[in-house]
Amino acid sequence: MELCKITGLRGKVTVPGDKSISHRSIMFGSIADGTTEVHNFLKGADCLATIRCFRTLGIDIGENDSTVTIHGKGLHGLAAPSDILDVGNSGTTTRLLSGILAGQTFDSKLSGDESLNSRPMKRIIDPLTQMGAHISSILRNGCAPLYITPGRLHGIHYTSPVASAQVKSCVLLAGLYAEGETSVTEPSLSRNHTELMLKEFGADVHTFHALDSTKSTAVIQPCPQLCGQKITVPGDISSAAYFIAAGLIVPDSEILIENVGINQTRAGILKVCEDMGGDITLLNERFEGGEKVADILVKTSALHGITIEGDIIPTLIDEIPIIAVMAAVAEGTTIIKDAAELKVKETDRIETVTDNLKAMGCNASPTADGMIITGGQLKGASIHTLLDHRIAMAFSIAALVAEGNTKILNSKCVDVSYPTFYDTFEQLL
């Protein structure tokens, strides 16, 4: 994909359904009794991998445009897979599905692409093993492929070293199959879609926050039954983030992004935009299916650098590549700290972001847990996405304010979370 400098992005867009919520709708629908109907499901490669895995586990899942119908078979209705479960590029599929598979009475193997198979799985192997699960890394390197055999699970009180919704959700899902209560305490609250949606399906799950620290604990009881639901997936704030940034940094722009999920555990990007001086307004705020939703209006703004650190990081972890792009054109310096988790995403995003920003002439330096970026004029470059969807989309927006042409290499990788990204973009030209 080749892109160049433009002005005047104007119009109204919607973004596809939330990736995290779409994954969970398939998983919980499959282990619920009855039918689950999901509207505005994200048909990105990651969520399609989740559908593929549950079909291999014997679940009948129908697809019609962006509506998906899951014929759930109950907590104990999954069938032994005839093949290895192919999780593609998806960390969410791998970690959440492992929690469910740990509670089954059959053997299973999960494997993904090269990037997925190099991401850390010890973070789920450890707590699942403490619960009595039999799960191992086949190559003994702490990564997928994973091999899971039946184990008798008991509840644990797990203190996670990282604020990770994938780890938390994995343990809570295994908790559905365990004897006794299971809880997960995390250093600060990560996205809570599992807790919200499991409650809608009828699980006994609740969350409490420590009064004297940022720690948060989710508690689940073993569950006799989940009940199929009707779910409408809100637009993904992580996808909206590219158009929020475009509206703020491309001169003479005004963009309305309709129907975006603004769950507080995901909405750190909105605060950062405001703190950087962005003109951003939430309209028509409402609740749909337990999730907060709004329309987001953005207008071109003069941004300035800020420091981003602490508890807000888990609420914007996937948006750091596009925040870095905003920082690269903002006045002054932006410091991002406490974000070492970026190293274990689809790529090492501290490296991929700073390398590509430097290629565009930006003064950007990696640090052990983040990056330091001083804003200025960007110039066109060849962007090495390393097949990371969020790098492709973030740098497509950077291209719009750079002098000269920018080439996004392997831009097709946007299919992972936003197959129609470039089509949405054209609606604003």
Active site residues: 318
Binding mask 23-42 for ligand S3P (x = CB under 6 A): x-------------------
Using the rule CB under 6 A, give the single segment among 150-158, 161-169, 257-265, 279-287 that binds ligand S3P.
Answer: 161-169
Piece in contact with ligand S3P (CB under 6 A), picked from 64-72, 165-173, 268-276, 361-369: 165-173
Question: Cβ–Cβ contacts within 10 Å for residue 161, how many?
Answer: 10
**Cβ-based burial of 76 (10 A; exposed 0-12, middle 13-18, buried ≥19):** exposed
Listed residue (362, 423, 365, 415) closest to 392, CA to CA:
415
Q: Which neighbouring-strand residues pair with 373?
A: 334, 364
Residue 89 interacting with ligand S3P (CB under 6 A): no
Task: Select 295 or 341, whichever has its Cβ closest to ligand S3P.
Answer: 341
294 forms part of the interface with ligand S3P (CB under 6 A): no
Of 317, 364, 387, 393, which lies in the binding site for ligand S3P, with binding defined by CB under 6 A? Answer: 317
By CB under 6 A, name the one of 108, 164, 263, 385 that touches ligand S3P. 164
92 binds ligand S3P (CB under 6 A): yes
Cβ proximity of 121 and 95 under 8 Å: yes
- To the nearest whole angstrom, how small is the minimum distance from the Cβ of residue 305 to ligand S3P? 24
Contact status, residue 375 vs residue 334, Cβ threshold 8 Å: yes
Q: Does 165 bind ligand S3P (CB under 6 A)?
A: yes
**Is there binding between residue 90 and ligand S3P (CB under 6 A)?**
no
**Dist CA 208 CA 379 (whole Å):** 48
Residue 390 in the binding site for ligand S3P (CB under 6 A): no
- 3-state class (DSSP) for residue 308: strand
Residue 319 binding ligand S3P, by CB under 6 A: no
- Of 279 and 369, CB closest to ligand S3P: 369
Q: How far apart are CA 429 and CA 241, in angstroms?
A: 18
Residue 295, phi then psi, degrees to nearest 5: -100, 145
Q: Which residue number, 237 or 325, has a Cβ lying nearer to ligand S3P? A: 237
- Given the rule CB under 6 A, which of 163-171, 222-230, 295-303, 353-361 is the region that contacts ligand S3P? 163-171
* CB neighbourhood size of 304 (10 A): 16
Pairwise CA distance, residues 77 & 416, whole Å: 29
Q: In the complex with ligand S3P, which residue's Cβ is closer, 40 or 190?
A: 190
- For the record, the structure tokens of 196 come out as 């919200």
Q: In what order do the strands lie in the sheet with 182-186?
A: 157-159, 182-186, 216-220, 205-209
Q: CA–CA separation, 224 vs 229, rounded Å? A: 16
Residue 163 or 273: which CB sits closer to ligand S3P? Answer: 163
Residue 315 interacting with ligand S3P (CB under 6 A): no
Closest CA to 321 of 385, 416, 262: 385
Per CB under 6 A, does 20 bind ligand S3P? yes
Shortest reach from residue 346's CB to ligand S3P, in Å: 8
Stretch that binds ligand S3P, among 134-142, 160-168, 220-228, 280-288 (CB under 6 A): 160-168
Name the H helices within 107-221. 122-130, 165-175, 193-200
Is residue 393 near ligand S3P by the rule CB under 6 A?
A: no
Window of 75-83, 162-170, 268-276, 401-409 that interacts with ligand S3P by CB under 6 A: 162-170
**Residue 318 touches ligand S3P, criterion: CB under 6 A:** yes
Residues 170-199 that bind ligand S3P (CB under 6 A): 190-191
Nearer to ligand S3P, 195 or 341 (CB): 341
CB of 256 to ligand S3P, least distance (A): 25
Q: Between β-strands 406-408 and 382-383, what pairing exists: parallel, antiparallel or unpaired?
A: parallel
How many residues bind ligand S3P (CB under 6 A)? The answer is 12
334 close to 305: Cβ distance less than 8 angstroms: yes
Q: Alpha helix locations (H) across 222-319?
A: 237-249, 268-275
166 binds ligand S3P (CB under 6 A): yes
Count other Cβ atoms within 10 Å, centred on residue 149: 16
Does residue 94 bind ligand S3P (CB under 6 A)? no
User: Counting every residue, how long is the chain?
Assistant: 429
Which residues are at the interface with ligand S3P (CB under 6 A)? 20, 23, 92, 164-166, 169, 190-191, 317-318, 341
